[in-house]
């Protein structure tokens, strides 16, 4: 029995559904496999461009000569430095960071956000030193350093740690300002009277450790050839991977936060680490680390950014850091959408949920003329259905591979051309939703402004799915989609295909169930606006067609009674 071919509209609709599925399911793969192979060492260096540092930030702090006589602490101490934006706790054992919290961002328990992963300290704390020789590495990261100050300190402050065993000497100097996420770090290491090449490390992961989605987006990053290169655990062939070049920055990112080492100029040597973190009563998870050194120079000087991936804040540290906010394929749509959302939030309603609603309404009304045009095209298609069916019946005895099947396609296209019909015109509004859908998806995934942004009542975070077992927004979306579909004209006269179309709301419910509530709110609002628009269309453009259908249905009922 010859299989019945799907109509053009049905094929396009199925293509949309498949594209949507691929779009959602492919995101983790695209993020995790977007890295390019580590570059070969480059001999030429390029100066950093467009930096907007103050003269104080540009000046490299050069410490005095390293201590030659033994200099060690007697016991481990903790030193806290607090500014307007951060609170950092150092330990004199290794002169490393034990805690780095951001004052203006909160975790799920409403505490200041901790960026240091306590489960990963087995690999070393942030700002530990990395050298190739393991004995020297163990010594300098476990030694008791002598600090320049102790206790609780307030920024602005410069903290210096020194250690000397007589054969090995180390100095770390960290300068803080109260109202900036950028600190200045200078390090020197000497062994047996000679300067030792070394790197500053941040190992064991970074970012919001309680955000499962953020953990999935945790990546090592560096900037090369005017683009961000991203590495993750899956892209590393071994536990260590080395990249060298004139990188303007290198570090680690998650969804909403990053740590970035910014050198004044010259070569960087970036070592990426892959760790398996053992967490009691949980599955083991892989995490990344990074060590950044100034090429083979014995002294390291970096401006170190530790903070949010907020475009304005990143740009102040270095304009190229703003590229860490990655809007993906449709950035030309996503970024303007984000700017529009922020403008609505800043000038009309101070709530990003209502901002999404207003922007969605605006987008749907901008597309309304196209919807009218597409509807007229769909109505023309319906009138051509008898002629199209006649052409299909004429060639239905042929097999799919029969060359004469091409004649059927030619006759069909000639019929479309004769009557001025676009075969996919009725599907254009739905197809045009793909860039906007993806744009909203990326805005909610990567824009820190959406992190923990509430809407109403139970929707407390637009960047995450609803936290209740029975999610209200997806169910409302499914219901409104069903209503909209019942109000809209059928794209095909085939009853079987019409029944398949009625399953689309359920398929969308499945797709959207675990997506961010802001994205579901966008589609739900679009459905509500679509219902209002379709109500208007049914009483203007389609009024005569609807009345004719009602009369036809009445006649059929009368005939059926007879």
For residue 148, pLDDT beyond 60: yes
DSSP state of 306: E
pLDDT, mean of residues 536-561: 66
pLDDT of residue 367: 82
Strand 151-154 relative to strand 78-82: parallel, antiparallel, unpaired?
A: parallel
Q: In this structure, are residues 271 and 101 in contact, taking their beta carbons and an 8 Å threshold? A: no
Burial class (CB in 10 A: 0-12, 13-18, 19+), 345: buried
Domain definitions of the chain by residue range: 72-321, 335-552
Of 122-126, 157-161, 427-431, minimum mean pLDDT range: 427-431
Burial class (CB in 10 A: 0-12, 13-18, 19+), 40: exposed
**pLDDT band at 311; cut points 50, 70, 90:** very high
Q: CA dist 462 to 304, 409, 455, 474, Å?
A: 30, 47, 7, 13
| Bridge partners (DSSP) listed for residue 200 | 129, 292
**pLDDT band at 49; cut points 50, 70, 90:** very low
> For 348-379, how does the pLDDT look when each residue is reduced to its tens digit (9 = 90+)?
999 999 999 999 999 888 888 877 777 777 67
For residue 70, pLDDT beyond 80: yes
- Higher pLDDT among residues 297 and 413, named by residue: 413
pLDDT, mean of residues 455-475: 89
> For 383-429, how does the pLDDT look when each residue is reduced to its tens digit (9 = 90+)?
777 777 787 777 777 777 777 777 787 888 887 777 777 766 666 66
In the predicted model, what is the mean pLDDT of the chain? 79
pLDDT of residue 262: 92
Tokens of 396: 């239905």
**pLDDT band at 553; cut points 50, 70, 90:** low
Q: In this structure, are residues 295 and 269 in contact, taking their beta carbons and an 8 Å threshold? A: yes
pLDDT of residue 105: 92
> For 231-260, how does the pLDDT look when each residue is reduced to its tens digit (9 = 90+)?
776 666 656 677 888 888 989 888 899 999
Q: How many helices (H) and strands (E) does the chain have?
A: 16, 20
pLDDT, mean of residues 522-537: 89
Identify the CATH class of 72-321. Answer: mainly beta
Q: CA-to-CA distance for 539 and 173, rounded, in angstroms?
A: 74
> For 6-36, how does the pLDDT look when each residue is reduced to its tens digit (9 = 90+)?
554 455 455 555 655 554 555 444 443 333 3
For residue 154, pLDDT beyond 60: yes
- Alpha-carbon dihedral angle through residues 461, 465, 466, 468, given to the nearest 10 degrees: -130
For residue 152, pLDDT beyond 60: yes
pLDDT of residue 265: 78
Q: Please state the pTM of the whole predicted model.
A: 0.78
With b meaning 16 or more CB within 10 Å and e meaning fewer, what string describes 518-546? bbbbbbbbbbbbbbebbeebeeeebeeee
Place of tokens 């407390």: 460
Q: In this structure, are residues 504 and 555 in contact, taking their beta carbons and an 8 Å threshold? A: no
Q: Could you tell me where the beta strands, DSSP code E, fall in 310-392?
A: none
pLDDT of residue 114: 92
- Length of the chain as a residue count: 562
pLDDT of residue 557: 65
**pLDDT band at 126; cut points 50, 70, 90:** very high
**pLDDT band at 209; cut points 50, 70, 90:** confident
Q: In this structure, are residues 305 and 258 in contact, taking their beta carbons and an 8 Å threshold? A: yes
Percent of the chain with pLDDT strictly greater than 70: 74
∠ CA 559-561-562, rounded to 5°:
65
């Amino acid at each position: 029995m010859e299989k019945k071919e799907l109509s053009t509209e049905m094929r396009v609709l199925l293509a949309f559904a498949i594209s949507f599925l691929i779009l959602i399911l492919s995101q983790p793969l695209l993020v995790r496999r977007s890295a390019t192979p580590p570059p070969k060492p480059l001999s030429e260096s390029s100066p950093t461009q467009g930096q907007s540092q103050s003269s104080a930030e540009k000046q490299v702090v050069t410490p005095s000569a390293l201590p030659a006589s033994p200099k060690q602490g007697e016991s481990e101490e903790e030193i806290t430095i607090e500014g307007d934006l951060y609170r950092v706790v150092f330990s004199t054992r290794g002169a490393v960071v034990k805690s780095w919290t951001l004052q203006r961002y909160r975790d799920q328990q409403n505490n200041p956000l901790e960026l240091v992963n306590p489960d990963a300290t087995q690999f070393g704390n942030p700002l530990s030193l990395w050298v190739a020789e393991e004995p020297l590495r163990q010594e300098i990261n476990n030694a008791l350093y002598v600090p320049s100050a102790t206790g609780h300190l307030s920024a602005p402050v410069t903290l210096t740690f020194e250690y000397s065993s007589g054969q090995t000497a180390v100095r770390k100097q960290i300068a803080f300002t109260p109202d900036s996420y950028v600190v200045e770090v200078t390090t020197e290491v000497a062994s047996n009277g000679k300067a030792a090449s070394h790197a500053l490390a941040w190992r064991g992961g970074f970012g919001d450790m309680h955000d499962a989605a953020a953990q999935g987006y945790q990546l090592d990053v560096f900037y090369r050839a005017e683009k961000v290169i991203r590495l993750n655990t899956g892209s590393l062939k071994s536990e260590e991977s080395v990249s060298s070049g004139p990188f303007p920055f290198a570090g680690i990112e998650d969804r909403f936060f990053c740590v970035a080492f910014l050198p004044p100029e010259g070569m960087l040597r970036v070592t990426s680490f892959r760790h398996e973190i053992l967490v009691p009563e949980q599955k083991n998870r892989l995490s990344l680390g990074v060590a950044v050194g100034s090429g083979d120079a014995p002294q390291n000087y970096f401006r170190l950014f530790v903070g949010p991936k907020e475009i304005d804040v990143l740009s102040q540290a270095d304009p190229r850091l703003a590229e860490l906010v990655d809007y993906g394929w449709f950035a030309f749509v996503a970024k303007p959408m984000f700017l529009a959302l922020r403008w609505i939030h800043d000038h009309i309603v101070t709530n990003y949920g209502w901002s999404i609603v207003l922007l969605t309404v605006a987008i749907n009304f901008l597309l309304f003329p196209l919807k009218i045009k597409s509807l007229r095209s769909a109505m023309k298609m319906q009138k051509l259905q008898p002629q199209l069916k006649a052409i299909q019946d004429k060639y239905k005895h042929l097999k799919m591979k029969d060359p004469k099947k091409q004649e059927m396609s030619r006759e069909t296209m000639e019929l479309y051309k004769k009557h001025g019909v676009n075969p996919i015109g009725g599907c254009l509004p739905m197809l045009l939703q793909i860039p906007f859908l993806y744009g909203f998806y990326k805005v909610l995934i990567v824009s820190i402004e959406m992190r923990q942004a509430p809407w109403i009542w139970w929707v407390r975070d637009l960047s995450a799915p609803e936290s209740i077992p029975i999610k209200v927004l997806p169910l409302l979306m499914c219901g409104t989609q069903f209503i909209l579909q019942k109000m809209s004209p059928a794209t095909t006269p085939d009853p079987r295909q019409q029944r398949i179309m009625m399953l689309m709301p359920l398929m969308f419910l499945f797709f959207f169930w675990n997506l961010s509530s802001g994205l579901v709110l966008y589609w739900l609002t679009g459905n509500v606006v679509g219902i209002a628009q379709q109500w208007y269309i049914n009483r203007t453009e389609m009024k005569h067609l609807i009345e004719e259908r009602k009369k036809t249905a009445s006649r059929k009922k009368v005939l059926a009674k007879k």
